[in-house]
């Protein structure tokens, strides 16, 4: 009843449009959010509707539907004028707000079938053709986590001696690839593609499209598991890259337990201990980077955490195989910086804040917690809203986070109040965590006032951030 009544307020249509915009017009994601919402007045916490042309068109379509719907009801009442029809009309008017939340996606579904899909198909076909004639060596990066970091590491190190182009930002789907390919100069020596897996069959489709010459699989865990029948299906999907590559070079992250099982004669395992026969030594971790030796080469990386050593080592090894010399590799390493919101350090009030808010998987959490545990600080503060899209693994994964945090025993744990952090909280209590737990109702308010929470000597790690559609 509360959910129904919360629809009956001015601005309800803006809420629906906002939800569509936040889910990037992904109808399935929007419908999932609809099921989760308990009060439509509480949806917009982190942002507001941006009035784009698409939003205006959707609004107009919805308004048109409402007008036609109501006009039809009143017309029938006027024409037939029977008591039972009045009752039916009242019921139809009452269900209108519920109906509207589904009707609003009809233009999107139609647009998808009639315009978007055919257009995307054509663009992808064109891009496939362009790529066939492109001389570049193509590298695919797949995995549940660490892809964007791996991409930036490879782009930086290989870029020390080759002309490299990599898919920008979070682009990891075929249509995005098509746009990226359309913008290529044509003389790139190396092309790097990040393969995102959202549904079964995604990776093999991308392999057919890109036809990579080499691959990196950065790790497998329960990220995006919600879209797969089970973990095996997710693993099989990602490992399609290995099947596709056959005897072509493939690097597997050995720090990821699942991946170690897939090591074969054609693959190279890398981890924080090194890559192939090159071992890492003299590792020094700081809040601003990592130093280590790889064979005879001394490496200074702006990437934080032991978990990032492996990919740097792998990229160095691969660069050597592609013919880059030490000078070129060093030149590439100098350009290597942490990616925004992925273990990115900054100073606030003399405290070090490590922004890892794009980290949305258990392995990433584990690595972050380990880093926070290892680094020295006067006071250690851990901040998280928990993980999303964990499907059936939601409870065990959050219990594991609670266990890790209780063991690490940081001074303060800040939890954004939601169903996931309740599991972490309960785990902390059951394990007699002795530090302070702070439950935050308004994450945005917390982030905006972080300066009031921290002081000189503090080390703060912020892992993951939930946008409105995950609440």
Partner 1 sequence: MNQQTIAVLFGGRAPEHDVSIVSAIGSVIKPLQLSGHQVVPIYIAKNGNWYTGDQLAEIKTYQTGKIDEIIAKQKPLAISVNDGLTIFPEGRERKAIKIDIAFPVMHGSYGEDGSLMGLLRMANVPFVGCDMEASVVAMNKVLAKQVAEANGVPTPKYLAFTKAEFENDRAEVMKQIDSTLRYPLFVKPPHAGSSIGITKVKAEPDLANALEVAAYYDDVILIEESVENLIEVTVPIIGNDQPIVANVERPTHLTDDGVFDFETKYLGGGKKGGKGGKSGKQGAQGYSEIPAKLPEKLYRSCEDVALRIYRAVGLLGIARIDLLIDSKTNIVYFNEINPMPGSLYAHNWVTKGVSNVALVEKLLDYAIDSFTKRAAVNTTFSTNFLKQF
**Nearest approach, Cβ of residue 239 and partner 1 (Å):** 46
Nearest CA-CA partner of 458 in 370, 363, 349: 349
Residue 446 interacts with partner 1 (CB under 8 A): yes or no: yes
Q: Is residue 379 involved in binding partner 1 (CB under 8 A)?
A: yes
* Residue 375 interacting with partner 1 (CB under 8 A): no
Query: Is residue 350 a contact residue for partner 1 (CB under 8 A)?
Result: yes
Shortest distance, CB of residue 441 to partner 1, whole angstroms? 9
| Residue from 156, 458, 465, 470 in contact with partner 1 (CB under 8 A) | 458
Q: Which residues pair with 297 in a beta bridge?
A: 294
C-alpha–C-alpha distance, residues 96 and 100, integer Å:
6
Question: What is the C-alpha end-to-end distance of the chain, expressed in Å?
Answer: 19
Stretch that binds partner 1, among 162-170, 193-201, 333-341, 453-461 (CB under 8 A): 453-461
CB-CB contact of 125 with 209 (8 Å) = no
Cβ contact 250:268 at 8 Å: yes
For residues 195 and 309, give the distance between their C-alpha atoms in angstroms, rounded to a whole number.
Answer: 22
Q: Is 399 in the site for partner 1 (CB under 8 A)?
A: no
Contact 155, 166 (CB under 8 A): yes
Q: Total number of residues binding partner 1 (CB under 8 A)? A: 17
Nearer to partner 1, 205 or 422 (CB): 422
447 near partner 1 (CB under 8 A): no
Report the nearest approach of partner 1 to the CB of residue 439 (Å): 7
Cα 251 off chain centre by? 22
Of the candidate residues 90, 95, 114, 439, the single one contacting partner 1 (CB under 8 A)? 439
Stretch that binds partner 1, among 91-99, 161-169, 179-187, 442-450 (CB under 8 A): 442-450
**Closest distance of CB 379 from partner 1, Å:** 7
Nearest distance from C-beta of residue 352 to partner 1, angstroms: 13
Is residue 429 within the footprint of partner 1 (CB under 8 A)? no
Nearest distance from residue 438's CB to partner 1, in Å? 7
Buried b (16+ CB within 10 A) or exposed e, 270-307: bbbbbbeebebeeeebebebbebebbeeebebbbbbbb
Hey, which residues does 289 pair with through a beta bridge?
286
Range in contact with partner 1 (rule: CB under 8 A) among 103-111, 252-260, 290-298, 447-455: 447-455
Q: Is 451 in the site for partner 1 (CB under 8 A)?
A: yes
What is the C-alpha to C-alpha distance for residues 202 and 140, in angstroms, rounded to an integer?
Answer: 13
What is the rounded distance in angstroms from the CA atom of residue 100 to the CA atom of residue 16? Answer: 9
Binds partner 1 (CB under 8 A): choice among 93, 115, 279, 455: 455
Q: Beta 297-301 vs 289-294: how paired, if at all? A: antiparallel
Which burial class, exposed, middle or buried, applies to 381 when counting CB atoms under 10 A from its CB (0-12, 13-18, 19+)? Answer: buried
- Contact between 449 and partner 1 by CB under 8 A: the answer reads yes
Contact call for residue 349 and partner 1 (CB under 8 A)? yes
Of 156, 352, 454, 459, the one binding partner 1 by CB under 8 A: 454
d(CA 226, CA 384): 20
Rounded to the nearest angstrom, the gap between the alpha carbon of residue 336 and the centroid of all alpha carbons in its chain is: 21
- Only segment of 118-126, 153-161, 287-295, 445-453 that touches partner 1 (CB under 8 A): 445-453
118 lies in the site for partner 1, by CB under 8 A: no
Give me the helices (H) in 351-448, please: 362-374, 394-408, 419-430, 443-448
What are 331's two structure tokens? 């030149």
Q: Interface with partner 1 by CB under 8 A: which range of 48-56, 234-242, 328-336, 443-451?
A: 443-451
Which residue stretch of 168-176, 184-192, 364-372, 452-460 sits at the interface with partner 1 (rule: CB under 8 A)?
452-460
Q: Which of the stretches 3-11, 99-107, 212-220, 449-457 binds partner 1 when contact is defined by CB under 8 A?
A: 449-457
Task: Pick between residue 300 and residue 436 the one whose CB is nearest to partner 1.
Answer: 436
Residue 46 C-beta: closest distance to partner 1, Å:
17
Query: Which is nearer to partner 1, 60 or 449 (by Cβ)?
Result: 449
Q: Pick the closest to residue 74 from 99, 59, 96 (CA basis).
A: 96
CA distances from 274 to 96, 172, 390 (A): 61, 28, 30
Torsion of CA 121, 123, 126, 131, to 10 degrees: -100
If the CB atoms of residues 255 and 458 are measured against partner 1, the closer one turns out to be 458
378 binds partner 1 (CB under 8 A): yes
Q: Directed axis angle between helix 117-132 and helix 202-210, to 10°?
A: 50
Residues 471 and 468: their CA atoms lie apart, in Å, by 6
CB nearer partner 1, residue 11 or residue 350 = 350
Q: Which residue among 244, 453, 466, 470 contacts partner 1 (CB under 8 A)?
A: 453
Alpha-carbon distances of 97 from 3, 93, 103, 110, 231, rounded to whole Å: 11, 8, 10, 21, 38
Name the burial class of residue 155, with classes exposed (0-12), middle (13-18) and buried (19+) by CB atoms within 10 angstroms of its CB: buried
438 binds partner 1 (CB under 8 A): yes
* 340 lies in the site for partner 1, by CB under 8 A: no
CB of 381 to partner 1, least distance (A): 9
The pair of structure tokens assigned to 387 is: 């993980």
- Kindly list the residues in this chain that would bind partner 1 in the complex (CB under 8 A): 349-350, 378-379, 438-439, 445-446, 449, 451-458
């Amino acid at each position: 009843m509360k959910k129904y009544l919360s629809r009956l307020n001015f601005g309800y249509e803006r809420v629906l449009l906002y939800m569509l915009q936040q889910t990037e017009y992904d109808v399935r994601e929007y419908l999932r959010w609809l099921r989760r919402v308990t009060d439509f007045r509480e949806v917009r916490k982190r942002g507001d509707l941006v009035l784009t042309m698409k939003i205006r068109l959707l609004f107009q379509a919805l308004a048109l539907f409402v007008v036609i719907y109501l006009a039809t009801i009143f017309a029938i009442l006027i024409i037939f004028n029977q008591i039972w029809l009045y009752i039916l009309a009242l019921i139809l008017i009452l269900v209108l707000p519920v109906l509207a939340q589904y009707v609003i996606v009809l233009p999107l579904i139609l647009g998808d079938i009639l315009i978007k899909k055919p257009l995307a198909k054509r663009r992808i076909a064109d891009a496939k053709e362009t790529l066939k004639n492109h001389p570049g060596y193509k590298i695919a990066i797949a995995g549940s986590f660490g892809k964007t970091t791996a991409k930036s590491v490879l782009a930086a190190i290989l870029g020390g001696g080759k002309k490299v182009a990599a898919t920008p930002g979070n682009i990891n789907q075929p249509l995005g690839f098509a746009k990226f390919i359309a913008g290529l100069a044509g003389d790139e020596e190396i092309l790097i593609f990040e393969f995102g897996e959202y549904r079964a069959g995604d990776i093999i489709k991308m392999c057919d499209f890109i036809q990579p010459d080499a691959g990196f699989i950065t790790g497998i865990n329960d990220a995006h598991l919600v879209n797969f029948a089970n973990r095996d299906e997710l693993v099989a999907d990602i490992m399609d890259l290995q099947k596709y590559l056959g005897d072509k070079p493939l690097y597997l992250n050995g720090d990821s337990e699942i991946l170690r099982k897939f090591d074969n004669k054609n693959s190279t395992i890398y981890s924080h201990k090194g890559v192939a026969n090159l071992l890492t030594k003299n590792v020094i971790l700081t809040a601003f980077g990592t130093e280590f030796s790889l064979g005879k080469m001394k490496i200074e990386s702006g990437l934080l955490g032991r978990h990032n050593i492996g990919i740097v080592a792998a990229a160095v090894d691969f660069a050597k195989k592609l013919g880059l010399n030490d000078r070129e590799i060093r030149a590439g390493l100098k350009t290597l910086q942490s990616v925004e919101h992925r273990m990115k350090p900054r100073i606030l009030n003399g405290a070090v804040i490590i922004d890892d808010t794009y980290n949305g998987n258990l392995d990433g959490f584990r690595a972050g917690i380990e880093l926070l545990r290892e680094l020295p600080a006067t006071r250690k503060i851990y901040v998280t809203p928990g993980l999303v899209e964990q499907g059936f693994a939601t409870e065990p994964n959050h219990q594991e986070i609670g266990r890790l945090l209780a063991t690490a025993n940081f001074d303060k744990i800040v939890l954004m109040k939601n169903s996931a952090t309740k599991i972490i909280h309960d785990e902390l209590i059951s394990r007699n965590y002795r530090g302070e737990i702070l439950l935050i109702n308004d994450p945005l308010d917390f982030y905006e006032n972080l300066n009031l929470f921290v002081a000189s000597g503090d080390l703060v790690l912020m892992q993951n951030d939930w946008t409105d559609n995950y609440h």
